[in-house]
């Protein structure tokens, strides 16, 4: 049987579309107006605070580029 502490542990990996390039942000705004439900909202700056609020520790924080757009990868654990 697992202990309470072990049951509350966890790992989390999140890939967030970046907001850190002017060209990407300009295109994002245009496409966001055309198809807001498809494109979604930019949350790259807010998510790390939510992860820490949920008592996860961010172990890795990396920027990667996926073809055209930049992304931020966060790896966390409890």
pTM of the model: 0.67
Residues 6 or more apart in contact with residue 8 via CB below 8 angstroms: 78
Confidence category of residue 1, pLDDT binned at 50, 70, 90: very low
Return d(Cα 28, Cα 57) in angstroms, integer.
Answer: 30
Q: How many helices (H) and strands (E) does the chain have?
A: 4, 3
Structural contact between residues 63 and 71, judged by C-beta atoms closer than 8 angstroms: yes
Per-residue pLDDT of 24-59, as tens digits, reads 778 878 887 887 777 666 677 788 999 999 999 999
Residue 41: the pLDDT is 67
Greater model confidence, 43 or 65: 65
Identify which of 60, 50, 52 has the alpha carbon closest to the alpha carbon of residue 78.
52
> Measured in whole angstroms, how far is the alpha carbon of residue 33 from the centre of its chain?
22
């Amino acid at each position: 049987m697992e202990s309470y502490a072990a049951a509350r542990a966890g790992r989390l990996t999140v890939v967030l579309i970046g907001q850190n390039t002017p060209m990407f942000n300009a295109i994002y705004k245009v496409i966001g107006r055309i198809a807001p439900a498809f494109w979604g909202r930019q949350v790259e700056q807010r998510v790390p605070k939510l992860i820490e609020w949920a008592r996860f520790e961010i172990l890795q924080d990396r920027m990667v580029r996926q073809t055209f757009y930049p992304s931020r990868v966060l790896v966390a654990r409890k």
